[in-house]
Structure 1
Amino acid sequence: MKNVAQQLITQKLKQLTTSDIIYYSKKYNIPISKAEAEAIIRALKKNKENPFDSDGRKRMLGKLASITSKDTARAVNKILIKLAKEYGVDHWLE
Structure 2
Amino acid sequence: MNSFKKMIMIRKLQTIQPSILLQYAKKYDIPISSQQAEIICEHLKENMYDPTKVSDRTAMLKKLAQITDMQTAKRCNQLFQQLIKQYGVENMF
The amino acid of 2:73's aligned partner reads: A
- For structure 1, list consecutive stretches of 5 or more residues without a partner in the other structure: none
The amino acid of 2:33's aligned partner reads: S
Cross-structure match for 1:13: 13
Alpha-carbon deviations, 1:16-75, whole Å to 9, x = none? Answer: 111101100111111111111111101111122311111211012223333443344335
The number of residue pairs the alignment matches comes to 93
Whole-angstrom distance in 2 between the partners of 1:90 and 1:17? 27
Moved over 6 A (4+): none
Cross-structure match for 1:52: 52
User: TM (normalized to structure 1)?
Assistant: 0.74
Identity in percent: 38
After superposition, residues 46-85 of structure 1 pair within 5 angstroms as: 46-78=46-78, 80-81=80-81, 84=84
In the superposition, relative to structure 1, how do residues 79 and 68 fare at CA in structure 2: closer, same or farther (>3 Å)? Answer: same
Structure 1 residue 6, shift from structure 2 partner: 0.9
Question: Which deviates further from its counterpart, 62-71 or 23-32?
Answer: 62-71
Cross-structure match for 1:40: 40
| CA-atom RMSD in angstroms | 2.3
Cross-structure match for 1:4: 4
